[in-house]
Chains A and B, each alone.
Chain A
């Protein structure tokens, strides 16, 4: 049986920039997005902003989720945003998750991050957000 021309699957890159190895959250999100029918590319750990931007472009992703728990988000996130912008991928929906202090959230959003999810965010909320933002 062949599926009729269904809507294109949402493609999401889940990435771990920086050196921290806390990947419990990234893996849970990757799996929840996959279970929600999205195409998920998980980069694995210790990615540079350049590697992440390259993956997003190569995979023609609609969204990228950056998971950071090392406190280096104000260094790493702007770099990914800039690199995506420079390569004409500024329509990619960028979300950030991890130990992000509340007061950093407005600055991250000003830079172009669509949403920041802190510990305790339900996975369904993240799935819904990405689905709504991409379409």
Chain B
């Protein structure tokens, strides 16, 4: 192989004369995602200054806002929900009384899958991992005494997002608040469901139509609402690498943009309200590089590929959450340190809002004590560590900028592979991202099992018999209570009106019409979540995954 001779760089000289003469300890010098890391980074690794730029200016590598946390700290948004709407409403009001301005709703598994609480598949799962919402009445109870025109609400739900948004709109209508005035975010990111989180109701093509219906409806009717939160979090939790999380999430984002453009929407009419949600995993610098690369890629592609002109369309604003998957059941208090480190990476990476996990979440839903420590972790970072005193303190770091570039290049490699398969929807149908994630997750587990990669308390520094910690128990009686609420609501409505509205929805589903209005009419007529979803399934069918492992 012929090589062009060239002068040795200073870094190469240093490596040969100094570093290579000293022994290295026996360890894996790779990130948690498997990227190998050099012993030293220097000025030679820095990209062109224009790739780094300034905060609040293209390409936004250093942050989407000029003043970042000197202007306003990130939002500490802890996600909550359990039992019935009554229990969660009490919790919401407690949080608002204590100064929280935004609410974040966790739904239970049946609600996420579009099943009513009395569906046979719901047994044992009602109100366990979040709040059970079956009806408009449940949504009204959830927000009873809360001014829906004043709070901003985040709802973490995807496959039946259109139904929950309809319940939310009608509940607000009954408080005298028009949809135009509602502020908040609904996750709606169905692509990552097929890729990673696996909560679906419909086949992928009609599910994408429903997402686009919501984007269209919100762009016309709900100027303060974020109709999709494009999420890498669950992709990472399913075992992906940071590079896969970045690439698949961005590609999902581009796919939503393309579908909305195909619908005839103008990019600047909806792109400013697309937001993102990333994982904050344990490999500190790799995570920071991931957020920085994400902002740069999004801004460039929105401007150059999708023709956005409004600067707000270019800004990637994101929520982040520390990595549930990094928590261990062994020595659970050690998870406080993991979470703090992860949260710090999200802050140094320029997050707009953050949820910190509780130390007991490898065992159960968190206790109040554990949730309080998680929130305090963010407060210590914000108010004691000094990291919020300057904008993007790591900008220009040889290592961070080099990693950011590599992260970006890795994302573009994945974009190309996905394009070769015909785009993200096709790639998912061919199980491509699913297989990539399964491979990455298995590779990581092998590193841990072989002891190459240390997990403190799991494969090293473990202790024998540990004292069990107190964990949260959900009262199993809440399931019965919710079923009674649901059956009461069904008894009180006009069955004919509900059936009529469902029939109109089914007819609309057979045309190209936007389904948001018919779904809102079903909500007004008292149809339940399960009835609305089943009506759509009668037209569109359901989805069964071909598992790859």
How near does chain B come to A25, taking the closest CB pair, in angstroms? 9
Q: Is B489 an interface residue (CB 8 A)?
A: no
Partner of A19, one of B125, B238, B442: B125
Q: Which of A24, A31, A70, A101 contacts B129 (CB 8 A)?
A: A70
> CB of A111 within 8 A of chain B?
no
Q: How far apart are B357's CB and chain A's nearest CB, in angstroms?
A: 13
Cβ of A57 within 8 Å of any chain B Cβ, yes or no, is no
**Cβ of B508 under 8 Å from chain A:** no
Contact: B197 with A120, CB < 8 Å?
Answer: no
26 A–B contacts, CB within 8 A, in A order = A18-B125, A19-B113, A19-B125, A19-B199, A20-B125, A20-B129, A21-B193, A23-B238, A24-B238, A24-B441, A26-B549, A27-B549, A28-B441, A31-B438, A42-B549, A44-B545, A70-B125, A72-B124, A72-B125, A75-B123, A99-B362, A99-B363, A101-B363, A119-B362, A120-B457, A123-B445
A118 at the interface (CB under 8 A from B): yes
Report if A102 contacts B (CB, 8 A): yes
Q: Are B125 and A99 in contact (CB under 8 A)?
A: no
Q: Roughly how many angstroms separate A99 CA and B360 CA in the complex, as a whole number?
A: 10
Write out the residue numbers on chain A whose beta carbons fall within 8 Å of the beta carbon of B125. Answer: 18-20, 70-72, 75
Residues of A87-135 contacting chain B, CB below 8 A: 99, 101-103, 118-120, 122-124
A99-B327 Cα distance, complex, nearest whole Å: 11
Q: Which of A42, A74, A119 has the most CB of B within 10 A?
A: A119
Give the residue of B109, B110, B549 whose beta carbon is less than 8 angstroms from that of A31.
B549
Note all chain A residues with C-beta closer than 8 A to B330.
120
Digitize B190-213: 1 where CB-to-A-CB distance is under 8 Å, 0 elsewhere: 000100111100000000000000
Contact A19 B121 (CB under 8 A): yes
Interface string of A45-83 (1 = CB under 8 A from B): 110100000000000000000000011101110000000
A42 to B327, CA, bound (A): 26
Q: Does A30 contact B (CB under 8 A)?
A: yes
Contact with B along A2-45 (1 / 0, CB 8 A): 00000000000000001111111011101110000000001011
Which of B123, B124, B328 has the largest number of chain A CB atoms within 10 A?
B124
Q: Which residues of the partner chain A approach B123 to less than 8 Å between Cβ atoms?
A: 72, 75
Residues in B with CB closer than 8 Å to A20 are: 109, 125, 129
Chain B residue numbers with a CB within 8 Å of A101 are 363-364, 468, 471
A122 touches B113 (CB 8 A): no
Which chain B residues lie closer than 8 Å to A99 at the CB level? 329, 361-364
Total interface residues on B, CB under 8 Å, equals: 49
Partner of B239, one of A19, A24, A46: A24
Q: Which residues of B (145-202) have their CB < 8 Å from a CB of A?
A: 193, 196-199
- Is B121 within 8 A of A48, CB to CB? yes
Least CB distance, A48 to chain B, in whole angstroms: 7
The one of A21, A44, A124 in contact with B199, judged by C-beta atoms closer than 8 angstroms, is A21
Q: How far is the CA of A124 from the CA of B239 in the complex (A)?
A: 19
Pair B442/A28 contact, Cβ less than 8 Å: yes
Picked from A42, A70, A124, the residue with its CB within 8 Å of the CB of B449 is A124
Interface flags, B442-461, vs A, CB<8A=1, else 0: 10010011000001011100
Query: Which secondary structure characterizes the binding site on chain A?
Result: loop
Contact between B197 and A21, CB atoms less than 8 A apart: yes
Q: Which 4 A-B pairs have the closest CB atoms?
A: A75-B124, A21-B198, A72-B124, A19-B109
Cβ contact within 8 Å between A27 and B438: yes
Contacts of B361 in A (CB 8 A): 99
Given contacts A23-B547, A120-B328, 10 further A-B contacts (CB under 8 A): A19-B121, A21-B198, A24-B239, A30-B549, A45-B198, A70-B109, A71-B125, A71-B365, A123-B449, A124-B449
Decide: A27 and B121 in contact? CB cutoff 8 A. Answer: no
Q: How far is the CA of A28 from the CA of B239 in the complex (A)?
A: 10
Q: Which of B238, B329, B546 sits near A120, CB closer than 8 Å?
A: B329
Take A118-B329, A123-B445 as given contacts and tell me if A71 and B364 are in contact as well, using a CB distance cutoff of 8 Å.
yes
Closest partner residue, chain B, to A45 (CB atom): B198
Residues of B within 8 A of A119 (CB): 327-329, 362
Contact: A31 with B442, CB < 8 Å?
yes
Judge whether B95 is part of the interface by a CB distance below 8 angstroms. no
Min CB–CB distance A130 → chain B (angstroms): 16
Specify the chain A residue showing the minimal Cβ separation from B193. Answer: A21
Q: Which of B426-479 contact A (CB under 8 A)?
A: 438, 441-442, 445, 448-449, 455, 457-459, 468, 471, 474
Q: Which of B125, B238, B361 has the most CB of A within 10 A?
A: B125
**Nearest CB of chain B from residue A132's CB, rounded to whole Å:** 18
Known contacts A21-B197, A71-B365, A124-B449: A45-B441 contact under CB 8 Å: no
Q: Considering the complex, which residues of chain B in the window 113-149 have a beta carbon less than 8 Å from any beta carbon of chain A?
A: 113, 115, 120-125, 128-129
B520 proximal to A (CB < 8 A)? no
What's the minimum C-beta distance from B56 to chain A, rounded to whole angstroms?
37
Smallest CB-CB separation from A26: which chain B residue? B549
B325 CB-CB contact with A under 8 Å: yes
Cα distance A123–B458 when bound, in Å?
12
- Residue pair B239, A18 in contact (C-beta under 8 Å): no
Task: Say yes or no: is B112 at the interface (Cβ < 8 Å to chain A).
Answer: yes
B457, B471, B547 — which one has the most chain A CB atoms within 10 A of its CB? B547
Which residue of chain A has the shortest Cβ distance to B445 in the bound complex? A28
> Does B549 contact A71, Cβ atoms closer than 8 Å?
no
Cβ 8 A contact of B128, one of A31, A71, A122: A71
Q: Which residues of B contact A24 (CB under 8 A)?
A: 237-239, 325, 441
> Whole-angstrom distance from the CB of A121 to the nearest CB of chain B?
9
For the complex, what is the distance from the CA of A99 to the CA of B445, rounded to whole Å? 17
Tell yes or no: B36 within 8 A of A by CB: no
* A65–B161 CA distance with the chains assembled, in angstroms: 32
